[in-house]
Amino acid sequence: MVDVAAPLVAAAAKPGQFVIVCLSTDYSERIPLTIAGLDTQKGSIRLIWQAVGKSTAELANLKVGDTVENILGPLGKPTHIEKFGTVVCVGGGIGNAPLLPIARGMKEAGNKVISILGARNKELLILEDDFKAVSDEVIIVTDDGSYGRKALVTEPLEEICKGASKPNLAVAIGPGVMMKFCCATTKKYNVPTVVSLNTIMIDGTGMCGGCRVEVGGQTKFVCVDGPEFDGHLVNFDLMMKRMNAYKQLEKQAMENYEQHKCRLKDIGTEAQKNSKF
Amino acid sequence: MDESTKHLNELLAKHKAGILKPADRYEIPPQAMPAQDAIARRSNVSEVATGYTETQARLEALRCLGCKNAPCVAGCPVKIRIKDFIAPIVEGDFKKALDIIRENSLLPAVCGRVCPQEVQCQLPCTVGKKFKDVDKSVSIGRLERFVADWGRKNHDKTNPKIAPSTGKKVAVIGSGPGGIVVATDVRRAGHDVTVFEAFHKTGGVMVYGIPEFRLPKAIVREEIEQLKNMGVKIVCNFVVGRTRTIKELIEEDGFDAVYVGVGAGLPQFMGIEGEHLVGVYSANEYLTRANLMRAYDFGKGADTPIAMSKRVAVVGGGNVAMDSARTAVRLGAEKVYLIYRRSEKEMPARVEEVHHAKEEGIEFHLLRNPKRIIGDSGGVVCAIECLKYELGEPDASGRRRPVPIQGSEFQIEVDTVIIAIGNSANPLIGQTTNGLELNKWGNIVVDEKCKTSLDGVYAGGDIVLGAATVILAMGQGRTAAAAINEYLTGK
Q: Is B163 part of a structural domain of the chain?
A: no
Phi, psi of A94 (to 5 degrees): -70, -15
pLDDT at B446: 96
pLDDT at B334: 95
Percentage of chain A exceeding pLDDT 90: 66
Single residue among B102, B127, B153 that ends a domain in this structure: B153
- Mean pLDDT in chain A? 88
At A269, the pLDDT band (50, 70, 90 cuts) reads very low
Say whether pLDDT at A265 is over 70. Answer: no
A52 touches chain B (CB under 8 A): no
B272 and B408 share one domain: yes
CATH number for the domain spanning B340: value is 3.50.50.60
In total, how many domains does chain B have? Answer: 3
B250 and B176 share one domain: yes
pLDDT at A267: 45
Query: Chain A closest CA to B238's CA: distance in Å?
Result: 6
Higher pLDDT, A55 or B440: B440
Q: What does the pLDDT average to over A64-78?
A: 91
Say whether pLDDT at A263 is over 70. Answer: no
At A261, the pLDDT band (50, 70, 90 cuts) reads low
Single residue among B423, B453, B471 that ends a domain in this structure: B423
B434 and B411 share one domain: no
Say whether pLDDT at A262 is over 70. Answer: no
Domain containing B145 equals 3-153
Could you report the per-residue pLDDT of A182-239, keeping only the tens digit for each? 999 999 999 999 999 999 998 899 999 999 999 999 999 999 999 999 999 999 999 9
B273 touches chain A (CB under 8 A): no
Give the residues across from B298 on adjacent strands: B302
Task: List chain A residues with CB under 8 Å of B249.
Answer: none
A9 touches chain B (CB under 8 A): yes
Q: Is B181 part of a structural domain of the chain?
A: yes
Higher pLDDT, B111 or A253: B111
pLDDT at A122: 93
Nearest CB to B266: which of A9, A73, A221? A221
B232 and B351 share one domain: no
B392 and B469 share one domain: no
B149 and B35 share one domain: yes
A256 touches chain B (CB under 8 A): yes
Q: Is B10 part of a structural domain of the chain?
A: yes
B198 and B90 share one domain: no
At A48, the pLDDT band (50, 70, 90 cuts) reads confident
At A274, the pLDDT band (50, 70, 90 cuts) reads very low
B429 and B477 share one domain: yes
Q: Is B159 part of a structural domain of the chain?
A: no
Say whether pLDDT at A49 is over 90. Answer: no
Q: Is B160 part of a structural domain of the chain?
A: no
B13 and B149 share one domain: yes
Say whether pLDDT at A273 is over 50. Answer: no
Task: List chain A residues with CB under 8 Å of B378.
Answer: 241, 244
Percentage of chain A exceeding pLDDT 70: 94
Q: Could you list the pLDDT tens digit for every one of the 491 residues in chain B?
A: 788 899 999 999 999 999 999 999 999 999 999 999 999 999 888 999 999 999 999 999 999 999 999 999 999 988 999 999 999 999 999 999 999 998 888 889 999 998 889 999 999 999 999 999 999 999 999 999 999 999 999 977 767 789 999 999 999 999 999 999 999 999 999 999 999 999 999 999 999 999 999 999 999 998 889 899 999 999 999 999 999 999 999 999 999 999 999 987 899 999 999 999 999 999 999 999 988 887 777 777 777 888 788 999 999 999 999 999 999 999 999 999 999 999 999 899 998 899 999 999 999 999 999 999 999 988 999 999 999 999 988 888 788 889 999 999 999 999 999 999 999 898 899 999 999 999 999 999 999 999 999 999 999 999 999 878 888 898 899 999 999 999 999 77
Say whether pLDDT at A272 is over 70. Answer: no
Contact across the interface for A30 and B281, Cβ inside 8 Å:
no
B7 and B135 share one domain: yes
Nearest CB to A55: which of B238, B267, B303? B303
B332 and B344 share one domain: yes
Report all structural domains of chain A as residue ranges with CATH numbers, in order of start.
Answer: 2-75 (2.40.30.10), 86-243 (3.40.50.80)
Single residue among B153, B186, B210 that ends a domain in this structure: B153
A207 touches chain B (CB under 8 A): yes
A259 touches chain B (CB under 8 A): no
B408 and B431 share one domain: no
pLDDT at A260: 67
Q: Choosing among B175, B266, B432, which should be mutated to test the A contact, i.e. which has the most A CBs within 10 A?
A: B266
Q: Is B164 part of a structural domain of the chain?
A: no
CATH number for the domain spanning B44: value is 1.10.1060.10
Higher pLDDT, A277 or B283: B283
Nearest CB to B200: which of A70, A206, A250? A70
Say whether pLDDT at A268 is over 50. Answer: no
